Amino acid sequence: MPLTIHENVPLAPLTTFRVGGPARFFIEAVTENEVRAAVEHAVLNNLKLFVLGGGSNLVIADSGWPGLVLKIALQGISEHREGKNVYVTAAAGEDWDSFVAYCVERGYGGIECLSGIPGSVGGTPVQNVGAYGQDVGETISTIRAFDLAAGQVRDISNADAGFTYRTSVFNSSQRGRFIVLAVTYQLIPGGAPTIEYADLKKYFAERNLAAPTLRQVREAVRAVRHSKAMLIVPDDPDCRSAGSFFKNPIVSEAEYQHIAARAPEAPPRYPAADGRVKISAAWLVERAGFHKGYSRGPVGLSSKHALAIVNRGGATAADILALRDQIQGRVAEVFGVQLHPEPVFVGLDASSANRTAAIPPQV
């Protein structure tokens, strides 16, 4: 069947931020063949290509996208057992939180702490999505992806995905090369839930639950996220956001001591790879003078979490970027730390806007 190509499609409603202009052309792909055909159409017609997933972690330019937006809507979940593990494969267009619920209900441990994260399955390996002590890079077995360089579908192993904190080859060294089609997760039937973060420990201590189930951990994670406006809830103005806007800085011990010397108190610290230290970006933002509920016209910070920039209604991408720059500048001035944003900026990066069929990570 021929591709259905739409024109001048508003993109703001397809994002959690609810900002951004239209796509000049728009295709929704529900099969791998349609993905391939859409890519061929973009190349043949010299159209810049952007791959859209769940729309939960991006800021789209007010002018929109001048080329083709390819919405990944592939669906389907399958599983098989190998030894003590179960391998669950989800198509890239599956809703992530619904997929976590699917696994938890079947008693598969490994991703329960990633409950409540908005977006689609296809976006999870791109940023090595993580929260509350778990990262998808710990459980992903393989990624099925369309390789634009080779013009074919291939499987990418966990080892070749290059997972580190909020990073993979898909958003770093091989950015723009792959379109994720499906992801396979290696999970543990009957596995014990992960309870590492203080928020979860406090939640269960208050309820006298010494050995919570996977389902109870999922419920706890969603409750904690809701309390911080990190759960998408209809009609909640704090949820018109991209979630955590800045990554937690990872620094050396010497850098941490330098930051601590400039702070009114020692910043909370968490162990990171290679003996380094992770610092709470939210703590830095608040100590730099940006309190929960801070406002700057139509944008501001969530009333529940200082790390979430929110659209208070009628905001533009320019408004969001202005607040981003203000926060980054002040944190750098006070602590000497450069905060790095988590969202993908669509149509706002001049270096990528001039590439034909350039594909930012799907989000």
Query: What is the C-alpha separation between 97 and 16, in angstroms, rounded?
Result: 15
Burial 106-145 (b: 16+ CB within 10 A, else e): eebbbbbbbbbbbbbbbbbbbbbbbbbebbbbbbbbbbbb
CB 43 within 8 A of CB 23: no
**Phi, psi of 31, deg, nearest 5:** -135, 160
Burial class (CB in 10 A: 0-12, 13-18, 19+), 269: middle
Q: Characterize the bridge pairing of strands 49-52 and 65-72.
A: parallel
Question: Phi/psi zone of residue 18: left (φ > 0), alpha (ψ -120 to 50 degrees), beta?
Answer: left
| Catalytically active residues, by annotation | 166, 244, 342
Query: What is the C-alpha separation between 324 and 114, in angstroms, rounded?
Result: 26
Query: What is the C-alpha separation between 282 and 274, in angstroms, rounded?
Result: 23
